[in-house]
Amino acid sequence: MSLNFCFLGAGNLATHLSKSLKEKGFNIIQVYSKTNKSAKTLADVLNSDYTTSPAKITINADVYFVALKDAVFDEVLSKINLENKLVVHCSGSLPVSVLSAYSDKTGVFYPLQTFSKQRDVDFHKIPVFVEANSEEIQNKLIQIAEKISDSVTVLESAKRKYLHIAAVFACNFVNHFYTISAEILKTKDIPFEVLQPLILETALKVQEIEPEKAQTGPAVRFDENIISDHLNEIKDLKNYAELYNSISKSIFEHHQNLK
């Protein structure tokens, strides 16, 4: 499969995905990003061309990976002649149909992971969800995805959106709770490091046990003294008492319903 790829976007996802594809022997011929620094940084790693101008995006690629914020899709895609090109976006929440205005060969390639530039990830372990507007394109995307991931699934747009919402809770909101806990510790000069083993064990548990069976803490025990004491302590810390209260209620109600 000798395919030429163009990456539209040079953020965390684009960086990890393009590097992984290149390692598997695919050619990345160009990177587009709005900012010169991002475009050049990724192009250097990939040994590819780069541009910051939508009008100068190559017409010689076979596959265009769109890893842009959805608000700027049209601004970029409308400037390229994508006739007969395979155009693929990487968004969890957008349907494949958002690309139909630009090409008749469209697809989705959604790796379910959180990417940071500072951390390498093993792409083989990342579940990739694909979708396309034809079976031919779908098979092509499966072939590409299977080169870099051990877990490739075809999933329609409506379901993929739920996957994305679940990921927002399980990753983005979870990370914000790590941030809040760091902030709470900081008020008493306690280093965040003391929480790291707890955070890791909490994530390791649900690799084996269903999360609702792994629930611990004052809310699931309905330990009212502790809860009201905690609420009182953090009452002046942003809206954290409000969050504490509504999540504790949610935990309690969930586990009441299980009984």
* Residue 81 beta carbon to its own copies: minimum distance, rounded to whole angstroms: 26
* Residue 80 beta carbon to its own copies: minimum distance, rounded to whole angstroms: 22
CB-nearer residue toward its own copies: 24 or 159 = 159
**Residue from 233, 236, 256, 259 in contact with its own copies (CB under 8 A):** 233
CB-nearer residue toward its own copies: 104 or 223 = 223
Render 28-78 in DSSP notation, one character per residue: EEEEE-SSHHHHHHHHHHHT-EEES-GGG--S--SEEEE-S-GGGHHHHHT
Contact 28, 45 (CB under 8 A): no
Candidates 39-47, 50-58, 140-148, 212-220: pick the segment binding its own copies (CB under 8 A). Answer: 212-220
Question: According to CB under 8 A, which residues from 36 to 55 bind its own copies?
Answer: none
The residue type found at 230 is H
**Residue from 196, 236, 256, 259 in contact with its own copies (CB under 8 A):** 196
- Work out whether 162 is an interface residue with its own copies (CB under 8 A): yes
- Work out whether 35 is an interface residue with its own copies (CB under 8 A): no
**Residue from 206, 235, 236, 256 in contact with its own copies (CB under 8 A):** 206
Across-strand partners of 212? none
* Residue 55 beta carbon to its own copies: minimum distance, rounded to whole angstroms: 25
CB-nearer residue toward its own copies: 59 or 165 = 165
Q: Could you tell me the CA-to-CA distances from 167 to 10, 23, 70, 158 in Å, in that order? A: 22, 27, 18, 15
For residue 3, report the phi and psi dihedrals to the nearest 5 degrees. Answer: -110, 145
Candidates 35-43, 50-58, 134-142, 174-182: pick the segment binding its own copies (CB under 8 A). Answer: 174-182
* Residue 38 beta carbon to its own copies: minimum distance, rounded to whole angstroms: 15
- Whole-angstrom Cα distance, residue 90 to residue 3? 18
Q: Per the structure block, which two tokens stand in for 29? A: 């011929």
Of the CA atoms within 13 Å of residue 64, those in its CB half-sphere come to 26
- Whole-angstrom Cα distance, residue 23 to residue 45? 11
What does the CA dihedral 204, 206, 209, 214 come to, rounded to 10 degrees?
100
**Residue from 174, 235, 236, 259 in contact with its own copies (CB under 8 A):** 174
- Work out whether 74 is an interface residue with its own copies (CB under 8 A): no
- Work out whether 247 is an interface residue with its own copies (CB under 8 A): yes
- Work out whether 72 is an interface residue with its own copies (CB under 8 A): no
